[in-house]
Structure 1
Amino acid sequence: MNAAFHRYWTARLVSYAGDQIARTALLVAVFDRYGGAALGLFLLAATVPRLFGPALGALADRFDQRRIIVACDLTQAALYTTIALLSPSLPVLLALVAAASVAATTFTPAGRSLMPELVGPERLGEANARLAVGVNIGFAAGPALGGVLLATAGLTPTLLLDVATFLVSAALVAGLRPLARRGAPIKEPLRAVLRDGLGVVRRNLVVRAVACGFLMLVTFAALDNVAIVPLVRDSLGAGPVAVGLLTSAYGVGMVAGPLLIARGADRIRIDLVLYASLLVIGAGTVLTGLSYAVAIAVAGQALAGAGAGWHNVAADTLVQRHVPANRLGTVFGTIYLFPYAAEVLAYLAGAALLGAVGGRSLLVISGLGVTATLALVVPLLSRALSAERGNTDRREPVTVVA
């Protein structure tokens, strides 16, 4: 892997860890200061901007992704500095958090669109796996660090640490060489970029298979979030420490899964990695639901986390390989709407199901539903990849031997 990728990998690890530290600290601080209703508003302010993913993703197809990433990092640094130093009232805080979420939503498709430029199409599988390791280390460690820092140093130093991570990330990415633009001319109107990108989402069979799989997968997988605490408290008779262990185990699995496949990711069929991920997530979730001891539940969550890590690597690699480079931003911005929509469905259904069947059965339902996603994804993706191979074969020149 080249030096530019390692630079970007470090930037993502630092920035994502800082983001998780700040998110955890703010969640606790908002709840302590304003109560549960305010916490719901905080989560809403952080989530609603994600719905603008297609339009914000189109920016990555219109402008240099490197500059977008730097601008997003600097914007978030400024916003969190304001929160840290001014301790604003709740309405102002929510507005600042929403603005930071807009920057984060813009960052995500730009970062994913950057990968083919950084490593080339032949190294995408390995690069995505390595990147997932870094991001998931931040995901696993950030919340714990955020809680410790809030308890020992207070909110302002914790948020200023987050600001520092954004500045480090911006400096690292700014040091990358200017990127070559492939495809659409740089002066193409943004509305045309968005229109054409959404057209790719509608027509591209690989994108359709990945998006539909995301919707069904997360609808069932997110039931896990509803069921874990009742399982631990009611069925296993354990306390908050056990809840934390299960959550950490999932994060550790998300690091270990991509790490296991990183070296060979470009030598195996990435669609098979996607199918395996659904089986592993489903099996781990069912094992968690059927567990009779905390240790077994921890193992189940680690297994499910490993599958989730594989799924993210496979989904991103499939899209990067089968979508034109100058439309990746809009496509990624659109595809990642589906998990957020699925989470809403899961939380609405999960609340009702939890009262009816309990945490243990809800986890089993979650795992079986994730596994059943294979019945949707396998035929869709197999048909899409077969069609792509057929088109490639028809485009190959015929050699006539005299």
Structure 2
Amino acid sequence: MGARPSGRHRRAAERQATYREVIAVGEFRALWYAQGFSLLGDQLAQVALAVLVYQRTNSPLATAAVYALTYLPSIVGGPLLAGLADRFARRRVMLWCDLLRALLVAVMAVPGMPFAVLCVLVFLVVLLSAPFSAARAALLPEILPGDRYVVGSALQNMTNQAVQMLGFAAGGALIATLGPYRALAIDAATFLASALLLVAGVRRRPAPASGGDARPSMWSMTRAGSKLVFGDRRLRTLVLFAWLCGFYVLPEGLAVPYAAKLDSDLPVAVVTGLLMAAMPTGTVIGAFAFSRFVSPTGRLRLMGWMAMLSCAPLVFSALQPPLPVVLGLWVLSGVGGAYQLAANAAFVQCVPAERRGQAFGLVQSGLMAAQGLGILVGGLAAERLGPEPVVALSGVMGVTGAAVLAMLWTESRADIAARVRAQATA
């Protein structure tokens, strides 16, 4: 019997993709740029809405409720609409979603639009993000196979977080200069830019479920997708890892009242932007380090520990530290959030290619719902307890959940690690 290879040799045998080879793929660049454009416009609108509501109401609950409005539509239509990504050509689904969202946001940008109408339009815009995100998530593994997928996901994640960091940090100043309606007009233009990039850079592909006239109904696809995702122990664990972000994203929904409570000489809008930019900053750092310096199977081993790190720093909010310490803790929480890269890659390994759209859509919908409901409940609790204790309690609950999932994951990861290792050494 031959000697068992050492850990060093096993890690050396796993080939890791590089950022250069991923960026060299033209279709990935088109998806990458399109998503960045769209997200930048969204951040401007999000900051404007949060600051405006708090200025008018001085209520953490009202502020959290409006912020949660950007998440909750996924509960209503996400699981059903995500199936469009497996029913029709994924590029076409993305294009139609971009065009419809551009139209809806352009209506929002009309001066004097009633606030209630704006909320309805926001709901519809977010609703259309479900099939778009499902189609993009299902298309990415086809464009970037193997470890390229992880590196490409990391690059997209870092870009998204960097755009959020820029949008949140500079959002208050830009909104003060441009006004909310011009910010919404910019958001509409970014959706059009995204559509143009998809037309120019992503090639046409046939619909995944091309069964002639015998296409399954949307309801049957939703039921089948739910059975696939929740009927497998490995997938259930990975889904719960993804939904854990509801605990560590909650502070963003309370950023305005948290900023108002801090003893700082800076304006509340500036402190709000800094707080909302802290976690994205940490996620950029974590995603780069996790994808660049950790082997594919090493990411799977570290996933549980990173998930606990994403929530543990929030516990120290109970001590009511000053602004610099709060920023450091939230950045560290963002670093831990990079575990989602490993969870995402493992999920891809377990789901058939022709059913990825529905599966990703269900996970994304639950993820958005968890974040929205968490922020809404957090806002209600902050009305009574204040933002610092609520953030700390969220951290305690998140660490507890992450520890349980980490134990479950040790029993489920062996065969996934074997598949990842086989791909990485191929």
Determine if the TM-score, normalized by the shorter chain, exceeds 0.5. yes
2:357 aligns with one of 329, 337, 341: 329
Amino acid at match of 1:100: V
Q: What is the alpha-carbon distance in structure 1 between the residues aligned to residue 110 and residue 382 of structure 2?
A: 43
**Across the two proteins, how many residue pairs are aligned to each other?**
388
Aligned to 2:405: 377
Deviation at 1:57, TM superposition (A): 0.9
Distance change in 2, residues 1:330/1:293 (3 Å): same
Q: 1:199 aligns with which of 224, 227, 248?
A: 227
Choose from 322, 326, 330 the match for 1:297: 326
> Does the 8 A contact of 1:288 with 1:363 survive in 2?
yes
Alignment check: 8 A CA contact 1:50 1:105 kept = yes
Counterpart of 1:162 in structure 2 is 187
Residue of structure 1 aligned with 2:205, choices 161, 171, 179: 179
Is the Cα–Cα contact under 8 Å of residues 59 and 190 in structure 1 kept in the other structure?
A: no
Q: CA deviation at 1:359?
A: 5.0
**Separation in structure 1 between the aligned mates of residue 212 and residue 66 of structure 2, nearest angstrom:** 37
Q: Is the 8 A contact 1:226 1:351 kept in 2?
A: no
Could you tell me whether the CA contact under 8 Å between 2:308 and 2:403 is conserved in 1?
A: no
For structure 1, which segment, 288-297 or 103-112, has the greater mean C-alpha deviation from structure 2 after superposition?
288-297
Is the contact between residue 106 and residue 185 of structure 2 (CA under 8 Å) also seen in structure 1? yes
RMSD between aligned residues? 3.3
Q: 2:303 aligns with which of 274, 292, 301?
A: 274
Instruction: Tell me by how many angstroms 1:40 deviates.
Output: 7.2
Q: Do the aligned residues in 2 keep the contact of 1:126 with 1:262 (CA within 8 Å)?
A: yes
CA apart distance, 1:140 = 1.4
In the other structure, the counterpart of 1:127 is 152
Q: What is the rounded CA distance, in whole Å, between the counterparts of 1:255 and 1:108 in structure 2?
A: 20
* SS in structure 1 of the partner of residue 82 of structure 2: helix
Task: Give the structure 2 partner of residue 307 of structure 1.
Answer: 336
One-letter identity of the residue aligned with 1:279:
M
Call closer, same or farther: CA 1:186–1:122 in 2, change over 3 Å: farther
Which deviations, in whole Å up to 9, do the C-alpha atoms of 1:238-279 show, x marking residues without a partner?
A: 652444333222221122221223335663433234223213
Aligned counterparts of 2:239 and 2:313: Cα–Cα separation in 1: 23
Q: In the alignment, what sits opposite 1:318? A: 346
How do residues 113-124 of structure 1 correspond to structure 2 at under 5 angstroms?
113-124=138-149
Whether 1:16 and 2:43 are equivalent positions in the alignment is no
Other-structure match for 1:140 = 165
Cα deviation, residue 195, structure 1: 2.7
Task: Using the TM superposition, name which of 204-213 and 41-50 deviates more.
Answer: 41-50
Unpaired segments of 5 or more residues in structure 2?
1-21, 420-426
Task: For residue 89 of structure 1, report the CA deviation from its aligned partner.
Answer: 2.6
Given the alignment, which residue of 150, 173, 176 partners 1:151?
Answer: 176
Kindly provide the amino acid, as one letter, of the partner of residue 251 in structure 1. P
Give the structure 2 partner of residue 49 of structure 1. Answer: 73
CA contact (8 A) 1:201 1:331 kept: yes
Relative to 1, partners in 2 of residues 1:249 and 1:352: Cα closer, same or farther, differing over 3 Å? Answer: closer
The answer to whether the 8 Å contact 2:72/2:368 transfers is no
CA shift, 1:361, in A, is: 4.7
Cα deviation digits, residues 258-317 of structure 1 (max 9, x gap) = 122333566343323422321321343235544744322221111111222x13322322
Q: Distance in 1 between matches of 2:380 and 2:63?
A: 18
Q: Any conservation in 2 of the 1:117–1:180 contact (CA below 8 Å)?
A: no
Task: Compute the TM-score of the two structures, normalised by the length of structure 2.
Answer: 0.79
Deviation at 1:49, TM superposition (A): 1.9
Name 1:263's counterpart in structure 2.
292
Counterpart pick for 1:220 among 247, 250, 268 = 247
Q: Does 1:110 align with 2:138?
A: no
**Gap change, CA 1:77 and 1:326, over 3 Å in 2:** same
Q: Between the two proteins, what is the percent identity of the paired residues?
A: 27
Q: Tell me the alpha carbon deviations over residues 141-187 of structure 1, each in whole angstroms, 9 at most, x when there is no partner.
A: 22344433332123333222212211111111122111355566465
Q: CA deviation at 1:9?
A: 0.8
Is 2:114 the partner of 1:85? Answer: no
Find the aligned partners of 1:159 and 1:234 in 2 and give their Cα distance: 29
- The whole-number CA distance in structure 2 between the counterparts of 1:141 and 1:349 is 25
Amino acid at match of 2:328: A
Match of 2:95 in 1: 70
Alignment match, 1:395: none
The answer on whether the counterparts of 1:61 and 1:328 sit within 8 Å (CA) in structure 2 is yes
Conserved? CA contact 2:299–2:342, under 8 Å: yes
By how many angstroms is 1:85 displaced? 3.2
Q: In structure 2, how many angstroms separate the alpha carbons of the residues matched to 1:387 and 1:210?
A: 14
Q: Is contact 2:87–2:207 with CA below 8 Å preserved after alignment?
A: no
Q: SS of the counterpart of 2:175?
A: helix
Distance across 2 between alignment mates of 1:297 and 1:336: 29
SS at match of 1:262: helix
Secondary structure at the aligned position of 2:204 is classed as: coil
Please name the residue that 1:190 is paired with: 217
